[in-house]
Amino acid sequence: MTDTLTGGKFQKLNRAPAYQAVSQKIRSAILNGELKAGELLPTEMDLAEQFGVTRTTIREAIRLLEYGGLIGRADRKRLVVCLPSKESASNSLSTAMLMHEVTFKELWQIANGLEPLAAGLACDSMTTELKEKLAANLERTGAAKSDTKELLEAEIEFHNLIAQAAHNNALLMAREPLNQLFYPAFKAVIERMHPGGRILDCHTRMFEAICKGDKKTAEEWMQKHMADFERGIKMAGLDFNGPIDHQNL
Amino acid sequence: MTDTLTGGKFQKLNRAPAYQAVSQKIRSAILNGELKAGELLPTEMDLAEQFGVTRTTIREAIRLLEYGGLIGRADRKRLVVCLPSKESASNSLSTAMLMHEVTFKELWQIANGLEPLAAGLACDSMTTELKEKLAANLERTGAAKSDTKELLEAEIEFHNLIAQAAHNNALLMAREPLNQLFYPAFKAVIERMHPGGRILDCHTRMFEAICKGDKKTAEEWMQKHMADFERGIKMAGLDFNGPIDHQNL
DNA sequence: TATTGACATATTGTCTGACAATGTGTCAAT
DNA sequence: ATTGACACATTGTCAGACAATATGTCAATA
């Protein structure tokens, strides 16, 4: 199968289209800090002149970056350089996972690794501000009762707060695809849950453990919580070993 | 601060540009399976007619998707619907982490969560094929000696193989940003390492543990391996608590 | 003073129409 | 079976235009 004649010696020379080159240049400029987040981009005409191409080409180059969240619109006209939000940053990863038909089980295994990790780290770097937010969240959960929509939001907020308490931005971003992909499942599980179930209990104990800096207990309760979630998925009639849906786009 | 007159009642109506709408439609069609991966996209003129806009608009819409890896070029002409590769899928997340100036420590904490997880899962679902590949990788590592480039590649390959052995596609994709961002650090660490160090030993013991299905031992050795890496980063003169570089773009 | 209206200007979004470069398919010649 | 010649389709890029919308200025007004 090795055709030494046609296969060897020369490598495919890549003549990438101009819009890709331009896009790369702009991207680099942003990563280098030549263009700082928050700054306005030069106008399309400016860029066109600088690169020596047409506005059309510039616009295509910009679109290429826009999806990644590196560039956004300030006020619907002028474009600005952005710090990508964790949502936009994890979009491609989420959709890629969707298209690869990742299963609940696979995602759950990751979450089961990351969530206890977050809980553990939170024990080391808890702040009073986050303690207050968590306390407020517990109240919110308690007050939600059978209002599933409210309960759902509180539940998600709780986990996000824990992750914030870990003071690890990378973790916060790495978790985001799970948030996005699990959302429909969260919803289904919580809607089918008997009110006043274990959720609040779990959360409370976790909160107390974290406040005490009791890493082991915090991690254990998070694991129990995740186990509950797994059971919930199955009880909600979702196929734990099957691919997740994409009601989120 | 609540101006009840101008603030309330009406929400900002969003008149998104046409290229965004078109992009969304195409994206949905792909996620719905109306356009399957591998299929050719209709020609730009076709799309332009169908959506009732110009080719210019269509092209901008396509660029928007191209970055995310949902659309690629088959043969430099006709565009084709793609299953995003794990590399392209994690690009935005990686650059977002870069721009948020994520530290080595933050990334390491995640890796320290995911890598032992992978090693543990691998114990449950090892295949003979991967055993062979891992065995070959160990030989490769042994043979590399002081060839740091070769050693680097072998090291990365080892971890990827473990992750593959976990048979969890989501994990494989979630790990990818770490691969991308740690790469320069890997390199620096390995170049500064005394040859015949602990690497091969660690890998071998992990391999043996995984083959035996000894989850606990496999995880422990992976953790030791990660601890070595942490030491390596510090010894290489990199700031463990400082932001990572972006020599990768 | 603070708000409004009128107006010129700048910038983006979209359209039209064109051309060059490149890949595809066909068919005859070898 | 390979090559050459040719028509055709499709993408990449250009030039130039116009509409819609923000921005800034300045006078008029309450």
**What is the reported pLDDT for A78?**
86
Cα A195–chain centre separation: 28
Is the pLDDT confidence value at A242 over 70? yes
Is the pLDDT confidence value at B6 over 50? no
| B19-33 average pLDDT score | 95
A73 touches strand C (CB under 7 A): yes
Residues of A in contact with B249 (CB under 8 A): 24, 27-28, 31
**Strand D contact nucleotides, protein CB < 7 Å:** 9-17, 21-23
Which of the four pLDDT bands, split at 50, 70 and 90, describes residue B78? Answer: confident
d(CA B142, CA B239): 29
A41: nt with nearest C1' to CA: C11
Which of the four pLDDT bands, split at 50, 70 and 90, describes residue A6? Answer: very low
Is the pLDDT confidence value at B196 over 70? no
Q: Which of B90, B107, B249 sits opposite A31 (nearest CB)?
A: B249
Domains by residue range for chain B, with CATH: 18-81 (1.10.10.10), 87-235 (1.20.120.530)
Q: What percent of chain B has pLDDT over 70?
A: 92
Residue carrying structure tokens 């996972």:
A97
The lowest-confidence range among B37-41, B152-156, B179-183 is B37-41
d(CA A48, CA A57): 8
- Mean of per-residue pLDDT scores for chain A: 91
Is the pLDDT confidence value at B74 over 80? no
Residue carrying structure tokens 């700082």:
A36
Is the pLDDT confidence value at A128 over 50? yes
Residues of B in contact with A107 (CB under 8 A): 170
- Cross-chain Cβ contact B174/A177 below 8 Å: yes
**CA of B200, closest CA in chain A: separation in Å?**
26
The alpha helices in B40-168, defined as continuous H runs, are 44-51, 55-66, 86-99, 104-124, 128-144, 148-165
B93 touches strand C (CB under 7 A): no
Looking at residue A37, its amino acid is A
**What is the reported pLDDT for B105?**
97
**What is the reported pLDDT for A36?**
92
| B150-176 average pLDDT score | 96
Residues of A in contact with B100 (CB under 8 A): 83, 169, 173
Q: Which of A176, A181, A194, A201 is nearest to A232 (CA)?
A: A194
d(CA B171, CA A191): 28
CB proximity list for B123: less than 8 A, separation 6 or greater? B209, B210, B213, B214, B215, B218
User: For A179-213, what is each residue's pLDDT tens digit?
Assistant: 999 999 999 999 887 766 788 999 999 999 999 99
Q: First CA to last CA across chain B, in angstroms?
A: 43
Is the pLDDT confidence value at B134 over 90? yes
